[in-house]
Chains A and B, each alone.
Chain A
Amino acid sequence: DTGVSQNPRHKITKRGQNVTFRCDPISEHNRLYWYRQTLGQGPEFLTYFQNEAQLEKSRLLSDRFSAERPKGSFSTLEIQRTEQGDSAMYLCASSSAGQGIYEQYFGPGTRLTVT
């Protein structure tokens, strides 16, 4: 078990470009979450999947953001027409949907800088 992995670790892009991030959860976990963290703040929830179904999206997730988890394994988060305000750390977490098990395990994050 290698934990949650995220790629790339860092991404610098110009305003208006599209970017895509990937998250590979812990293999036996069926829930996968995306969060965003900006400087001085705690992580903020964006969206989550149970298996391949996207069950909840935050109002923070504008229509420029889309997330997929096509086979219930890895997930991608795409941001279209990036803006400087999208600069943040994008965190992925996974968990099991077992009875009374709620701990979420985070990856190292992808730091996005929009210039």
Chain B
Amino acid sequence: DQQVKQNSPSLSVQEGRISILNCDYTNSMFDYFLWYKKYPAEGPTFLISISSIKDKNEDGRFTVFLNKSAKHLSLHIVPSQPGDSAVYFCAPMNSGNTPLVFGKGTRLSVIA
């Protein structure tokens, strides 16, 4: 059973526009949510996180929104840049039990 679902395997966006990546989860014990970016042949790079006590966290061009009642979070990138082209993983966790649970990822392509 998949606890974390990223239902869009791929997303293509024009440079300068907004990219929205979505993530749904089923485990109500998750209380901390991280997003990672991954380039080919590299390890995942931490991008941004949000605690369950918040519904929004912003860091530069990246904003994460959390809707706990819907068990849904989204990552907004604006404006999108070609260097943002990568696979993005949603990775929630239960802060009392530290392993991350990853989704399958969404491949973002930003077209110049």
Given contacts A102-B49, A106-B43, are A42 and B105 in contact (CB under 8 A)?
Answer: yes
CB distance from A26 to the nearest CB of B (A): 12
Interface-side segment among A13-21, A43-51, A64-72, A74-82: A43-51
Task: Tell me the residues in window 101-115 of chain A with beta carbons closer than 8 Å to chain B beta carbons.
Answer: 102-109, 111
Residues of B close to A95: CB separation below 8 A: 98
A103 adjacent to B46 (CB under 8 Å): yes
Assign chain A's interface to a size class. 20 to 34
Please report the number of residue pairs spanning A and B whose Cβ atoms sit closer than 8 angstroms: 62
Assess whether B43 is in contact with A102, with CB atoms less than 8 Å apart. Answer: no
Q: How many residues of B contact A (CB 8 A)?
A: 25
A106 to B44, CA, bound (A): 6
Which stretch from B14-22, B70-78, B88-96 is at the chain A interface? Answer: B88-96
- Is A43 a contact of B102 with CB atoms below 8 Å? yes
Contact B93 A105 (CB under 8 A): no
Whether B56 sits at the interface, judged by CB under 8 Å, is: no
Nearest residue, chain A, Cβ from B2: A42
> A91 contacts B43, CB within 8 Å?
yes
